[in-house]
Structure 1
Amino acid sequence: MNREIPGFYYDSAKRKYFKIEDNKTAPEGASWSRGAVKRRALEKSEEEERKRKESRFGEGVRRARLSIGDFTGVGVSDSRRREEDLPLKVWASGLREKGQKTLWDVSFLSDEGVSDEGVMEGMWVGPQEDDEGADGVCFASWSESAWMFCKGVFRDGDDRITERDTSIRNWGFDIERLGAIVSIKFHTFSQTSIVTGSSRVIVKQPDDNSRLSGGDPYYPGLSYEIPNAEVHCCEISKLSNPNNVDAIFGSTRGLFYYQNYGIHELVPVTRSTLKKIPFHQRPPFWGDILSVDYLKQQDHNIILAGTRSGHICLIDRRTSPKEWESNIFRHKSSVAHVKSLLNSPHEVLAAGPSSAMAIYDIRFLRRQKQAEQNHHCPWNQTTLPIVNFPEYRNEAHIKTGLDILTDPGYGCGLVATAHDDCTIGVYSLRDGSRLPAGDVDKIKAQAVIRSLMWQKLPGDIHPSLFVGLGPRIKKYSFSGEIIEKF
């Protein structure tokens, strides 16, 4: 720094001293004139004073004592929520591959005229009594076929699924009658299995053994036709029991349900009725239903239906269909999946193409007769989602795997879903963020994954994620090996 000499001005640009002159004798605009020197000194003093005041003002800002969490809890709720999510994130990051079970041989498909391994379409894994000592049983079908495969699930001392072979049970149904198998469902309490084909439904209940099968516990069951419709999905009520099994089906002709050993149409619509009502004014639940679920565990009368047109219908079977019209709202795309979040009975998850997955709160719906509000474009009621999933990727696929985990002890829960790049993502149901999921993040299939589910086998503390990859079912369980840091 240059030394200040009284009566002289130092010009940093020219790097030399100039004697300060009076304004009358100094050249016009000279930086060493007495007026220019005083002006710069005043500006420098004002700038230093301004900075000093700013620093003093910052030091004087203090949070009021009443706003501290010890008094009012301000800021405590967010930190507690983060702490509640931390165990769930740690658990998800510890998912590791725990073996696989092959359900069919590639040579079997080559005999059927299929050149690749095939894509697993329907899948169910769960506990099941078995004379051979299996820990569980798995059912699966491959896409666009009427073949269903069954194998017992055996585990070793490290909780890994082994390829130990048992008596394999394969059923080849008449594809011209049943159509391609689209889903396999099993209700443990009622011991009821439902195999849904695109044109027929096969239901097996425990008392079918003695009446029809001569005691074979794996007898396929009774076949029911759903006329003039292509079936897309099925869901069994958790309240079902051996004497009263309730199931709902979504099809191209709306909703059907199973009760008392029969398939019934939820809203019978005649051809004459269809002719009277223009297509754009028909209620969405008359049309193509891609996904179904029961809203609450305690009541099987309230049904959720997701349509190809992008509507979510809330249906109460105790009321008339006219009342259902006020409980319809739109999603951003076709609703390939609709799930009720059992730990939040008013919240509904919807997912479909255009990478659209969101959670809605049905309490925010405006109850209005939409067809009467707008005759030209009804059923356009919308509601803002309470949670979005920005990292979900599925641009064009309807048939993708998705399942939620909302068991007690897992916070707000998880959703595992297939992406269109043949991978799987695990997301938090609280804020829609994608979570590190250990070996699940390493999955890379040959085609978009269509089958996955969370399930516990006998003796398990935590549920495992079962994924259908070609002819194999792979298991991913928490191992306690945490690599990711939070």
Structure 2
Amino acid sequence: MAPNEIPGYYWDEKKQRYFKVEKGATAPSDAAWSSDKVKKRKLEDAASVEAIRRLNLNKNRVMRSRAVNQPLMGGFFARECGERDLDLPAAAFAQGLVEKGKIPLADASWGSNTNVKHMLVAGKGHKNDICTAYATLDETVVLSTYIPRDPTSGRVHRRLISNHIDMPTHLRPNREMGMRQISDIKYSEKAHRVLITSRSPCSEVSTMIFAPKRTDSDDPRPSWLIGESGTTLYMNARAYGDHAFNDYGANVVCPAPRGNSYMFVVGSSRGLVHCGMDMSMGWSSPWGPGHYYGPQNSFLDIFAVDFQPLHPKVVLFGGRPGYLFKGDMRQNALKWSKLDLNNAITHIKPINENQVLVAGIRNMLSVYDLRYTAKFRGSLDLPAGMATPLFKIDQYKNDAHIKIGLDLDLASGIAAAAHDDGKVALYSVRSGARLPSRDIDKIQSRHGAIHCLQFEPFPGDVTPTLFVGEHSNINAYTFGVDDPDDEA
């Protein structure tokens, strides 16, 4: 570019001087200042400027459709173009979850100013389009109730109980039992036992066990009968600790799968406890009578326990401090492995044989692959190193709550996670993306973090219902439509 444009003169960049433009007949053959070459160069520069202008215009004209950015509709478009979206089934299921009513646990007899503390919904093996629920509002009294569903509208409501049972006493929640500082409620399918633990400090780890009365398949009543006075036998299984300590408490109970000789395992304040099918309890890891395994601070509190898929004798557990343990229950606990996650663990949900979803405080919700964690130490005697997850779900919000809701539906690959601000979000465990859901995204508890979330199918359903313990209600969210008339 010439310093100044002078009519009739050409600026030579190499020689850094002006040349008078001459006609082609008088100018040298290789001269850049001949009139023909100057004119040709101006035309080429003008064409280049016009091409760049049109390119910029076309960039603004071609825009990605907003529909393509939506996980569901965009996923269908991508599939038609030959692309594979791993989140498409999960996004479709999440967007199809619809609010289908609630079952109140509090009435004139019971009141609550908090969310449901602990909850168990049992639907497998049931009949009559009805589930059974056990829950506690105050961690002192266990209430039982039926969750009936209208077969036409798909909505749940307490008044529907009268369609199944001609007993008005069951229209209200039934007081099942009392227990101090209830910490967890689970169901062992292979033993048909409801398991209830307490974190009340004492010299033992105890679990209350009872078997709901079942009806025959041709009986018109529900599969489980609640409130059957005099027919329910309550049993207490105990694992005694070291007499030097009086602070043993059970934080969480996990039913053992088929293929495991135990009925369940308990995560306590001082290690892992197992219970056999004969109701005898013993210490799997840790701090039993007269001995303990590993560093003294390894088993302060265990808040999460689950078994590895396809390997029913391999258990994953963790808590505070933030160690993720992996142990074969046929081995001595000293041979178990551990991984340091640096944060207290609140939930452990195996995704498949190798991957596991781990939640904890300080907004930790991550997926780890146990095959590629180089610092997974193969002995409790070795110090655990920090681990790097496959990916971290950054939108998860839980700064300090230990008891907060989370559940995983393996079939769809969706994790339902409660946030500490009273909201609930759905996430894909394949990518970590948050999945939009119209009705789930509307959940906002005024009583703080929601403690109870559970995926459980109604009898005969292929997809599960998400049960949410909000305030003193059990809310149901099922895949479907708002109104049956909306279906084509």
Query: TM-score scaled to structure 2, two decimals?
Result: 0.72
| Structure 1 residue aligned with 2:418 | 418
Instruction: Give secondary structure in 2 for the equivalent of 1:322.
Output: helix
AA aligned to 1:305 is: F
- Residue number among 334, 339, 343 corresponding to 2:349 in the alignment: 339
| Structure 2 residue aligned with 1:5 | none
Aligned mates of 2:333, 2:43 — CA distance in 1:
77
- Residue number among 264, 273, 296 corresponding to 1:282 in the alignment: 296
Instruction: Give secondary structure in 2 for the equivalent of 1:261.
Output: coil
Matched, 1:468 2:481: no
Matched, 1:392 2:411: no
| Structure 1 residue aligned with 2:153 | 158
- Please say if residues 209 and 235 of structure 2, whose CA atoms lie closer than 8 Å, have aligned partners that are also in contact: yes
| Structure 2 residue aligned with 1:104 | 106
Matched, 1:237 2:232: no
- Residue number among 289, 300, 319 corresponding to 1:307 in the alignment: 319
Q: Aligned ranges for residues 213-292 of structure 1 at < 5 Å?
A: 219=232, 221-227=234-240, 228-239=247-258, 246-259=263-276, 260-267=278-285, 269=287, 273=291, 281-282=295-296, 284=298, 286-292=299-305
Aligned mates of 1:188, 1:422 — CA distance in 2:
31
Task: Quote how far apart the aligned CAs of 1:85 are.
Answer: 2.8
Gaps of 5+ in 1: 1-8, 13-17, 24-28, 59-74, 110-115
Instruction: Give secondary structure in 2 for the equivalent of 1:336.
Output: strand
AA aligned to 1:334 is: A
| Structure 2 residue aligned with 1:293 | 306
AA aligned to 2:269 is: T
Aligned mates of 1:21, 1:452 — CA distance in 2:
82
Q: What does the per-residue CA deviation read over 1:78-97, in whole Å, with 9 as the maximum and x for residues that have no partner?
A: 95431x53232122101110
AA aligned to 1:158 is: S
Task: Quote how far apart the aligned CAs of 1:181 are.
Answer: 1.2
Matched, 1:329 2:339: yes
Higher helix share: 1
Over 3 Å counting, the alpha-carbon distance change for 1:265 and 1:21 in structure 2 is closer
Instruction: Give secondary structure in 2 for the equivalent of 1:81.
Output: coil
Matched, 1:190 2:191: yes
Instruction: Give secondary structure in 2 for the equivalent of 1:108.
Output: coil
Matched, 1:169 2:186: no
Pairwise CA RMSD of aligned residues?
4.1
| Structure 1 residue aligned with 2:407 | 403
Higher strand share: 2
| Structure 2 residue aligned with 1:355 | 363
- Please say if residues 307 and 316 of structure 2, whose CA atoms lie closer than 8 Å, have aligned partners that are also in contact: yes
Instruction: Give secondary structure in 2 for the equivalent of 1:120.
Output: coil
Instruction: Give secondary structure in 2 for the equivalent of 1:329.
Output: strand
Task: Quote how far apart the aligned CAs of 1:218 are.
Answer: 6.5
Over 3 Å counting, the alpha-carbon distance change for 1:454 and 1:128 in structure 2 is closer
Instruction: Give secondary structure in 2 for the equivalent of 1:92.
Output: helix
Q: What does the per-residue CA deviation read over 1:42-99, in whole Å, with 9 as the maximum and x for residues that have no partner?
A: 99669849969x99xx9xxxxxxxxxxxxxxxx99x95431x5323212210111001
Instruction: Give secondary structure in 2 for the equivalent of 1:420.
Output: coil
Task: Quote how far apart the aligned CAs of 1:126 are.
Answer: 2.1
Instruction: Give secondary structure in 1 for the equivalent of 2:267.
Output: strand
AA aligned to 2:338 is: I
Over 3 Å counting, the alpha-carbon distance change for 1:315 and 1:43 in structure 2 is farther
Task: Quote how far apart the aligned CAs of 1:273 are.
Answer: 5.0
Q: Aligned ranges for residues 36-51 of structure 1 at < 5 Å?
A: 38=33, 41=38, 48=45
- Please say if residues 339 and 377 of structure 2, whose CA atoms lie closer than 8 Å, have aligned partners that are also in contact: no
Instruction: Give secondary structure in 2 for the equivalent of 1:415.
Output: strand
Task: Quote how far apart the aligned CAs of 1:282 are.
Answer: 3.3
Task: Quote how far apart the aligned CAs of 1:32 are.
Answer: 9.5
Over 3 Å counting, the alpha-carbon distance change for 1:389 and 1:51 in structure 2 is same
Aligned mates of 1:121, 1:51 — CA distance in 2:
70
- Please say if residues 334 and 379 of structure 2, whose CA atoms lie closer than 8 Å, have aligned partners that are also in contact: no
| Structure 2 residue aligned with 1:93 | 95
Task: Quote how far apart the aligned CAs of 1:207 are.
Answer: 9.7
Aligned mates of 1:182, 1:220 — CA distance in 2:
21
Aligned mates of 1:146, 1:220 — CA distance in 2:
19
Report the count of equivalent residues.
Answer: 406
Task: Quote how far apart the aligned CAs of 1:153 are.
Answer: 1.6
- Please say if residues 347 and 360 of structure 2, whose CA atoms lie closer than 8 Å, have aligned partners that are also in contact: yes
Over 3 Å counting, the alpha-carbon distance change for 1:432 and 1:273 in structure 2 is same
- Please say if residues 146 and 197 of structure 1, whose CA atoms lie closer than 8 Å, have aligned partners that are also in contact: no
| Structure 2 residue aligned with 1:71 | none
Aligned mates of 1:217, 1:466 — CA distance in 2:
30
Aligned mates of 2:230, 2:436 — CA distance in 1:
41
Task: Quote how far apart the aligned CAs of 1:468 are.
Answer: 0.3
Task: Quote how far apart the aligned CAs of 1:291 are.
Answer: 0.7
Instruction: Give secondary structure in 2 for the equivalent of 1:266.
Output: strand
- Residue number among 120, 142, 146 corresponding to 1:148 in the alignment: 142
Instruction: Give secondary structure in 1 for the equivalent of 2:397.
Output: coil
Instruction: Give secondary structure in 2 for the equivalent of 1:88.
Output: helix
Task: Quote how far apart the aligned CAs of 1:194 are.
Answer: 0.4
Aligned mates of 1:469, 1:372 — CA distance in 2:
43
Matched, 1:382 2:400: no
- Please say if residues 106 and 117 of structure 1, whose CA atoms lie closer than 8 Å, have aligned partners that are also in contact: no
AA aligned to 2:359 is: A
